[in-house]
Structure 1
Amino acid sequence: MTVFQRPSRRRFLQATASIGAAGFAFPLSQASFGDTSPNERPVFATIGLRNQGWTITSKSFQFADFAAFADVDAKVLGQNIERATKTQGKAPEGYSDYRKILDRKDIDAVMIATPDHWHTKIAVEAMLAGKDVYCEKPLTLTIGEGKLIEKIVKQTGRVFQVGTMQRSEYKGRFLQAVAMVREGRIGDIQKVTCGIGGSDSSDVIPAVDVPEGLDWDFWLGPAPKAPYRALPEIRKGYGGGVPRYTNCHYAWRNWFEYSGGQMNDWGAHHVDIATWALGADKTGPNKITPVSYSLPVEYKDGYPTVDDRYNVPTKFEILCNMPGDIPLVITSEGDNGIMFEGTKGRFFVNRGKIVGKPVEDLASNPLPEGAIEEVYGGPVAKNHTDNFIQAMRDRTQPISDVWSHNRMLETCHLANISIRLGRELNWDPDKREIIGDEEASSFISRESREGYEIEGV
């Protein structure tokens, strides 16, 4: 049993009350668990271990002890148990069924890095089991899932961090960008462009035998029943070692059944920063217009007419009408990153650079002292997990809270719906409803496959 020291009931109730009243609260940075006694380190578990699952786990060993892993692929599970054992000197327990982790009383928090279609079910059940949650982005597959997660966070008072790491990492470039916009360094905002890249198309991907050790039915989980598909070519580079063309490992991002393509994948990063800088993280757009787009298969009534090829948009330009009638453009073209344009200049930021004359002008006219900390809500954490653990200790919500994330992600979800139906959508950001389009509104939620409904709601 962990001896992780939880806050007093009084502090917990104060924090929970503030969440209910204001939606969320940012923590002020103090000494992290990783900087204190080993007996105060929280106990974590990771659910979904391939690629990003191991990335967020490996960044967290300095702050937490990992007692358990879960993955539906026995090979992935075994490999990562071995890696973790070498790193922390003791082996986490391995499970094929994540629910056995949620049953354990010694685990304080779970990190979720499954494919997107599993996020909501696991996250909700984890909170109801008394766990704090760190969940990878994009948080949800639908707008309705986001609303459910918000409800359960408020109901349980759990701490919930979304894995939009650009808010905490990458040498503070994105924090600097937000601070520059807020300090008026480019004047009044005229346009923001998010370059997020396009997705691949594919030839027909045949149904083949499921790889040994993979529980395919459990991998599908809440998604519709489907055969395992793959072509022989093996993917190289990041996410490599598996079929390049498949409806499973890594390439699941190219199927609406499990993801939202680049719109939700990279969009969840760059649209997040753009929305934050615009001060629109408590509201959203009022109109979404698909200026241009390309789908790799034919669609009817918003659904692909074939099920054996990638189906998310390969190219697109989406115009989002943000508060103040500021245009936010989401495009598959150009450099990956964000261009901010205003009446006094423009600058570009991505994970490797922040450039433009307003940036150069900082040499002679730096941002005011404390401007970055004001954006972040206190001293910037060592990394995204550090911020999460600080929030666990203080019982406040971290820098990537579910409310601001869902508001941003609604823009991405709406963009995908507009592409699938091929028309403009009007959105009420107060009611969080599509206006006057019953067919489009049907995409707000999706039923789970029988046997994989969310337990406890």
Structure 2
Amino acid sequence: MLRRNFLRGALAAAASPLVVRSSALGAGRPAPSNRVAVACVGVNNMGGQHLRTLLGTPDAQVVAVCDVDAQVRGAALQAAARAYGSDAFCAGYNDFREILARPAVDALVIAVPDHWHAIISLQALRAGKDVYCEKPMTLTIAQGWTMIETVRRLGRVFQTGTQRRSWSQVRHVCELVRNGRIGRVLRASAGVGLNNRECGPTWEPEPVPPGFDYDLWLGPAPAEPYHHLRCHYAFRFILDYSGGQITNNGAHWTDVVQWAFGKDGTGPLEIEGRAEWPTSGLFTTATDFECTYTYADGAQLTLSPRGGAPRFEGAEGWVSADNKADPPSILSSAIRPDEVRLYDTRGETHMQNFLRCIRTREEPAAPVEVGHRSASVCHLGNIAMMLGRKVKWDPAAERFVNDPEADRLLFRAMRSPWHL
């Protein structure tokens, strides 16, 4: 079974010590111009959306784009040339490390496969750059520990790409839950979507396309033969690079639930998961699943492929993050000045919030600790499903309770020469 092979390898590799580099290259500050100089690393799919947003943002200047796919990189450079009326303002790179050597780059916007998030973010932070990193913030829980320590030690601005933190509607729903409008919170549920079922047992390796740096795309992940469904969007369905929909769409929903539950600095105590796993083929994430998390106050969260935005059920009604409620009057309830009020971006988009915080050095809407805890909920669900049993979690120590087998899954080995 593919899950068993992955699990066996992960447990064995995790027995090796985690190598953490602790170099710090200075605090740095934004360039003294009217625009924040931004480099976009990963400019396909969500990265392409970020690029288009930044090209239309007056207080940002995209000075570099980076992608291991020459075709994608070329299209991004053309988009920048059209936006700026010249191809002289934005340079293209295959390797993100070349960008880090440029002192005039203030910030990186990172939208690459999950297995690269921590490495690129950490190298950027140590090079004195502020970072916007797409969700999930990390591939493992242990990577989050290093991310938090590095951001705080260096005083950098770090924004996690959980954009719903900047949606006024979602903030209001979370405030309603936090302020007791549905009574005592009993449970929340959310649907994250099904993992891909394509690319079955008959898949064959393919030639690497010209202009695609496949070895650099793999980076810290195990060396495997190329197939087009291993890369771009479908990487999400292979455990070497991601965690499936539970770390994809699920990362948004766990973030909203953590916010509404008031658990940004902690997490659940128990996690129970069931899953159906592929037995052959390219994709290795669960084909169907359900995870239930129990928090210290007894509130529960259930994630499965079915459903939609988080729905919060309480003793006196329910409300959902897509602006529905029963009774409907819950939604029109105003939050009083003396009640819990959550971070308000006041009309800014998530990216605008990041850019402003680069200038002001304030905390952004989705800082590193929030990104770590929200991603941890996703990772905990996958670990419970991989082990096929209930696990108990100590959110203060960030270790499983008397469970060395589960603790080993907090880490992943990396292919040489890559490390944190």
**TM-score of the two chains, using structure 2 as the length reference:** 0.88
Aligned partners of 2:345 and 2:353 also within 8 Å:
no
Alignment of 1:290-309 (within 5 A): 290=273, 292-297=274-279, 308-309=281-282
Could you list the per-position Cα deviations for residues 369-400 of structure 1 after superposition, in whole angstroms to 9, with x for gaps in the alignment? 6979x312x45242011111121122122110
Residue 184 of structure 1: which of 180, 186, 189 is its match? 180
Percentage identity across paired residues of the two chains: 36
Residue 166 of structure 1: which of 156, 160, 164 is its match? 164
1:452 shift after superposition: 2.1
Give the whole-Å Cα distance in 2 for the aligned partners of 1:276 and 1:427.
19
Give the whole-Å Cα distance in 2 for the aligned partners of 1:148 and 1:39.
32
The yes-or-no answer on 1:399 pairing with 2:365 is: yes
Could you list the per-position Cα deviations for residues 30-71 of structure 1 after superposition, in whole angstroms to 9, with x for gaps in the alignment? xxx9xxxx9321100000110111111222231300101111
The yes-or-no answer on 1:323 pairing with 2:296 is: yes
The yes-or-no answer on 1:199 pairing with 2:198 is: no
In the superposition, relative to structure 1, how do residues 433 and 403 fare at CA in structure 2: closer, same or farther (>3 Å)?
same
Aligned partners of 2:258 and 2:374 also within 8 Å:
yes
1:174 shift after superposition: 0.8
The yes-or-no answer on 1:286 pairing with 2:254 is: no
Residue 64 of structure 1: which of 45, 49, 60 is its match? 60
**SS of residue matched to 2:290:** strand
Further displaced range: 422-431 or 86-95: 86-95
Residue 416 of structure 1: which of 382, 389, 403 is its match? 382
Match of 1:366 in 2: 334
Match of 2:24 in 1: none
Letter in 2 for 1:440: A
**SS of residue matched to 1:419:** helix
Give the whole-Å Cα distance in 2 for the aligned partners of 1:53 and 1:132.
17
Alignment of 1:42-441 (within 5 A): 42-61=36-55, 62=57, 63-91=59-87, 92-169=90-167, 172-202=168-198, 203-204=200-201, 205-230=203-228, 246-290=229-273, 292-297=274-279, 308-333=281-306, 335-350=307-322, 354-363=323-332, 365-368=333-336, 374-376=341-343, 378-441=344-407
1:314 shift after superposition: 1.7
**SS of residue matched to 1:337:** coil
1:362 shift after superposition: 4.1
Aligned partners of 2:257 and 2:310 also within 8 Å:
yes
1:453 shift after superposition: 2.4
Aligned partners of 2:294 and 2:301 also within 8 Å:
yes
What is the aligned-residue RMSD (CA, Å)? 1.9
1:154 shift after superposition: 1.4
In the superposition, relative to structure 1, how do residues 452 and 349 fare at CA in structure 2: closer, same or farther (>3 Å)?
same
Give the whole-Å Cα distance in 2 for the aligned partners of 1:390 and 1:381.
12
1:349 shift after superposition: 2.2
Letter in 1 for 2:251: A
Aligned length: 385
Give the whole-Å Cα distance in 2 for the aligned partners of 1:438 and 1:396.
39
Give the whole-Å Cα distance in 1 for the aligned partners of 2:288 and 2:366.
28
Letter in 1 for 2:324: V
Aligned partners of 1:201 and 1:309 also within 8 Å:
no
**SS of residue matched to 2:109:** strand
Letter in 1 for 2:385: I
**TM-score of the two chains, using structure 1 as the length reference:** 0.81
Give the whole-Å Cα distance in 2 for the aligned partners of 1:358 and 1:160.
38
1:173 shift after superposition: 1.9
Unaligned runs of at least 5 residues, structure 1: 1-32, 231-245, 298-305
Could you list the per-position Cα deviations for residues 246-297 of structure 1 after superposition, in whole angstroms to 9, with x for gaps in the alignment? 111110000000001011001110111011110111111111011x321122
Give the whole-Å Cα distance in 2 for the aligned partners of 1:109 and 1:189.
39
Further displaced range: 308-317 or 254-263: 308-317
Give the whole-Å Cα distance in 1 for the aligned partners of 2:378 and 2:319.
23
Match of 1:22 in 2: none
Letter in 2 for 1:53: G
Give the whole-Å Cα distance in 1 for the aligned partners of 2:338 and 2:208.
54
Give the whole-Å Cα distance in 2 for the aligned partners of 1:271 and 1:102.
32
Could you list the per-position Cα deviations for residues 322-363 of structure 1 after superposition, in whole angstroms to 9, with x for gaps in the alignment? 120111111112x2211100011012223xxx1123443444
